[in-house]
Amino acid sequence: MSFRVTRPLHSLILDDVRGAQKMLSGVARVTAMEGSRHLSSLVGAPVHLKCENLQRTGSFKLRGAYVRISGLRPEQRAAGVVAASAGNHAQGVALASSLLGVRSTVFMPVGAPLPKVAATREYGADVRLHGHVVDETLAAAERYAAQTGAVFIHPFDHPDIIAGQGTVGLEILEQCPEVRTILVGVGGGGLAAGVGLAVKSVRPDVRVVGVQAEGAAAYPPSLAAGHPVAIEAPSTMADGIRVGRPGDVPFALVREFVDEVRTVSEDALSSALLLCLERAKLVVEPAGASPVAALLSDPKAFQGPVVAVLSGGNVDPLLMQRILRHGMAAGGRYLSLRLRVTDRPGALATLLAVLTVVDANVLDVGHVRTDPRLGLTEAEVELHLETKGPEHCVEVRDALRDAGYVVLG
């Protein structure tokens, strides 16, 4: 079955999303909706998690990619497709192309995580590593398209892509008809535009809230200006929403159908990822955890029932390790300290005994005795501790000070 939006770029309607939903039947999973007791208690109303991290390829991107490629004319399919991505879009295009029998070439940055590169190849794409930042990779893909005639598949700035992503919104209304607020992460805006269009067309009373990382928040200034505005050097751990400029097509729809775009901190993102892992038993990438970060940052701001879209779960294990430590620190579960102690036999054992009394788990100890900043009889100890929360961190610091130690940081 083929599908293609044929009206002007900014005139998507509900029927386009419904057509995409029919076409995706048997291709994209209807992902689970999981309740969260912990988040529900914080918000004071039911909170449900829409698990697109459990979608085929690990994110919602397959939906839009399949709809876009299925709409190509026979001669375009014969020329193949090309895309540029560091992860989720790459895998979505690769699998969609394989399912449709279309040759795909995907350009990825040289430093792209190896598991994402391997997965993209396994889905059938010819992967080419080029550039160290996504802009360089994107330019290489566009040059390839111009030279070979392959069709460039943009990650968010096309109506077919948005129609496919909008099927997430239709599923939410079917799975949780009583929903009052939907939270969705925003990068270029394709998912938020599609969800907003689908949901508001059926249920204009439902509030749709976009969430961006503070360091990559191009939508707030763009909405204020009334047109897409580029920001310089977007920076966030949430690479899935690290986009410097909104797409022209999704911007028009976000402006019309999304009620608000909020921003969240890096601490909130890492805490949200940790919460999803510990409480919901779900592996979620930072971009996918952004709606949960918004709930943690301001839980009383949202009328329930609330649905938070977990847009993806493709996270590099090494990045996951760093984020979890960051999340534990942000949540008061991990404490790093430097102290001055008297350099004498048994001093370190005495210090550790204090920590035993307050039940702090020692993960790592660094002991410096030869720094010129230290006095003749002094040593500096760096401690990395596992703690039970913010109140326990305060208890540990107080116990050390009461024992006569100078806590430097």
Beta strands in 57-174 (DSSP E): 81-84, 104-108, 126-129, 151-152
Instruction: From residue 140, give the alpha-carbon distance in Å to each of 128, 130, 132.
Output: 10, 7, 12
CA 207, distance to chain mean position in Å, is 21
311 counts as catalytic: yes
DSSP state of 358: T
Q: Which amino acid is at 107?
A: F
265 counts as catalytic: no
> What phi and psi, each to the nearest 5 degrees, are found at residue 153?
-105, 100
CA Rg value for the chain: 24
**CB of 178 within 8 A of CB of 206?**
no
Rounded to the nearest 10 degrees, the angle between the axes of helix 248-257 and helix 159-175 is 30
Q: Which of 70, 97, 201, 311 is catalytic?
A: 311
Distance of alpha carbon 113 from alpha carbon 135, whole angstroms: 17
Q: Which of 36, 40, 50, 61 is catalytic?
A: 61
Instruction: From residue 217, give the alpha-carbon distance in Å to each of 47, 158, 241, 287, 302.
Output: 25, 21, 9, 13, 21
Give catalytic residue positions. 61, 311
